Every structure is written in structure tokens, then in C-alpha cells.
Amino acid sequence: MKAVMKVDKNPGIKVMNTDKPKPGPRDVLVRIKSTAYCGSDLHLYKWDGQAEKWNSPLPRILGHEFCGDVVEVGGNVSSIKTGDKVAGETHIPCEQCIMCRTGRAHICENMKIFGVHVPDGSFAEFAVIPETIAFKLPSDTPYDIGALYEPCGVAMHAVQRAEPEPGDVAVVLGCGPIGIYVQQIMKAIGSDVIATDIKKFRIDHAKRVGAAREVIDASEGNTVEKVKNVIGQRGADIVFEAAGAGETVKQSLDMVAKAGKVVLFGASPDNPTLDTTTYIVYKEIDVRGLTGRYMFSTWDRVERFVSRGLVDLESVVTHKFPLDKAEEGFQLLLKGEASKVILNP
Ligand SMILES: [Zn+2]
Ligand SMILES: [Zn+2]
């Protein structure tokens, strides 16, 4: 079968032929119809410090956001059958540690990441996944929509962690795909939503999607002041930090109202320090972090929002390519000229 492979630690990928994988007793074989690029695929493409930290086995097939049809199931699989349309969790939990057994399998103590740790991902014609991470989709779900449940799940998780209240004012720092999904979900539940970004491409994209009442250019001037001029000096009830930079973490603490909530899910490489006395003690801010998705309550919630038309998963897609043109997708993303890119094997 054809696959997008990372063969060694040099930057780049190769589209090549490799063996079709075989499912083990508790696995299912999926014919991949749609698979989307994620930030982690870029780390692996470049093989930067983050990729080095993950210590991914090479050679490997990249990709982990996908949708397809089950074409074969292992002998011990009971919940999924041939012909089911599935998407998949990226987090493969051990099912035995205390986190797994207390409802937080997404932060399993022995977590493996699909497409990062297990040898092969979804940028291919077929992929094998454990039954435990398969999520059965309604059969009329378009494949490109199914592939985007995973990233939208992070946005849904962020909103769940924020525990919003009626009439909240929410600011979303960052207009990448997940930031845009957060904007749509918060708008759908009745919040006033303001967004910021520093990149013109992303600002224009968020404006076109139109979930935020205002999209503020944070590339110059005082962003906290600009936001407060729109929402009022009291600040936001909730700030979602979806940009993953030290600067935006700092801004989120300054633009949130007293007793408000800051939700962090961008992984900031600069690991900003936090003035706990000023913000957590005297301002009584709740700072909440999250990674991945609740398994599988976020998936269930995404399905409800998609089926009621409350979130438009396709709105973040800017490009679609066949596997042969995978390199083009990487180049566009590296140049910041794409939002979500999809491969259709
Ligand atoms: Zn992802
Ligand atoms: Zn576990």
C-alpha cells in the first residue's frame, strides 16, 4: 500500500510503498479515506527537539487524525464490525493504571500515542488501530468531517474544562483549527466571543468563519488593552489560551476578570512562569490545563454539535491533497499558509 513515511531523522518525508498492516486479536484494520495533518506531524517532519523527546521509532508512517471504513477485525474484537465507519482516539491508554480506572484514560500513566509511538499512523491507504480507540461514527458522516472529530474533541474538552456559565464573555487567543472550533462551540452555547491572533492568514480565516464577534490583530500594540476596549475593563469570564506561546499565557492572565477562568491547552515551548500571588491569590483566577480528549464524552459531545449544525468541522479545512502530494501539505503548513490540510488516500 501507499504511505507517507518518515524514514530517518533528516527533515522531510517519503511517499512510498510498504506492506499492508495486519490486525492483531484486539485490533481493527481501517481503510483510510481521510486523514488530517496535526502540529505533531510537523514536529516529526522537521525532526525537531519535540520529535527527539517523543523518541518515535523509525521508519514509520505519520498521521493520527483520520476517518475510514473497517475492513477487517481481530478475533477478540466485539464492539466494532466490518463496514463500520470509524475515527480514532490518538491516545492509546493502558486500561489498567489509576487514571484509566478513574475516568481519565486520556492522561493514562502508560500512554502511547497513535502515529507517534506505535509504529504506524494514518497517512496511508490502511491503518491498524486497537479496538479501544475506535469511535463509531454515524454512517452518513462525510469522511473529511469524521477525520476532524479528533482536533474538535480538544476544543470540546477545553470548553468542558472551562465549565462556562450563561452569558459568559470568552476570549480565544489563537485562531488555528482548534481555536476556531472553541470559538464556534462557545458561540453556540450563547457566549460573547472575541478572538486574537498574530498571523494575517489566521485572522482573515477566523473572520471568514465568523464565530467570533471581533478578531483582533495581536501582532502589534497592547493586545490586553485592545481586547478590554472591546469587552470592557472588567475583563473576560473565560480566556482560552490556544496559541501555545509564553506571551499569550501572560496576556490571558491579564485579560481575564477577577474570579475568572484561564484554560491552557497550547503547549508553550518557553514554559512561562506564573506570578501566583498576583493572579491566583489576589485575583482568584482558576487556571486549568488540559490535553487530548475525555474518552469518550468529548467525542459524544462533538457528535451532537455536528449533527445539530452547531459546529462546522469543515470550516477549518483550507487544502485537500492525495497521498502523492503530501509534501505540498507540509510545505504550506510550514509556511503558515494553511489551516487544516487533509489527505485523501
Ligand atoms: Zn492531532
Ligand atoms: Zn492507563
Q: For the chain, 345 residues long, give each residue's pLDDT as a single digit of tens.
A: 999 999 999 999 999 999 999 999 999 999 999 999 999 899 999 998 888 888 888 999 999 999 999 999 999 999 999 999 999 999 999 999 999 999 999 999 999 999 888 879 999 999 999 999 999 999 999 999 999 999 999 999 999 999 999 999 999 999 999 999 999 999 999 999 999 999 999 999 999 999 999 999 999 999 999 999 999 999 999 999 999 999 999 999 999 999 999 999 987 777 888 899 999 999 999 999 999 999 999 999 999 999 999 999 999 999 999 999 999 999 999 999 999 999 999
Q: What single-letter DSSP state applies at residue 137? A: P
Query: Which of 282, 278, 249 minimizes the C-alpha distance to 265?
Result: 249
CA dist 170 and 192 (Å) reads 6
Q: How far apart are the first and last CA of the chain?
A: 10
CATH number of 155-289: 3.40.50.720
HSE toward the beta carbon, residue 199, CA cutoff 13 A: 14
Rounded-to-integer distance, Cα 276 and Cα 284, Å: 10
Q: Note whether 253 and 240 are within 8 A (CB).
A: no
In the reported structure, the alpha carbon of residue 298 is separated from the centroid of ligand 2 by a whole-number distance in angstroms of 18
Taking the CA of 95 as reference, the closest ligand is 2
Ligand 1 centroid to 63 CA: how many Å?
A: 8
- What is the structure's pLDDT at 225? 98
Using alpha carbons, select from 102, 104, 79 the residue that is nearest to residue 293. 104
Q: Which ligand has its closest atom nearest to the C-alpha of 153?
A: 1
Q: Which residue has the cell 478572538?
A: 195
- The DSSP bridge partners found for residue 3 are 16, 124
Q: Cβ(57)–Cβ(44) under 8 Å?
A: no
What are the contacts of 90-97 at 24+ separation with CB within 8 A? 90/64, 90/65, 90/114, 90/115, 90/133, 90/150, 90/292, 91/133, 91/292, 91/293, 91/295, 92/117, 92/118, 92/130, 92/132, 92/133, 93/132, 93/295, 95/132
CATH number of 2-147+312-343: 3.90.180.10
The CA-atom distances, in angstroms, between 241 and each of 22, 182, 270, 301 are: 40, 10, 14, 21
The ligand whose atoms approach the alpha carbon of 43 most closely is: 1
From ligand 2's centre to the CA of 199, what distance in Å? Answer: 38
| CA–centroid distance, residue 78 to ligand 2 (Å) | 21
Q: State the distance from the centre of ligand 2 to the C-alpha of 156, rounded, in angstroms.
A: 22
DSSP characters for 252-276?
HHHHEEEEEEEEE-S--TT-----H
Strand positions, DSSP E, 103-175: 112-113, 126-130, 134-136, 169-173
CB 153 within 8 A of CB 302: yes
282 CA → ligand 1 middle, Å: 36
- 333 alpha carbon to ligand 1 midpoint, in Å? 14
| Backbone φ, ψ for residue 200 (5° rounding) | -60, -40
Could you tell me the residue ranges of all domains in the chain? 2-147+312-343, 155-289
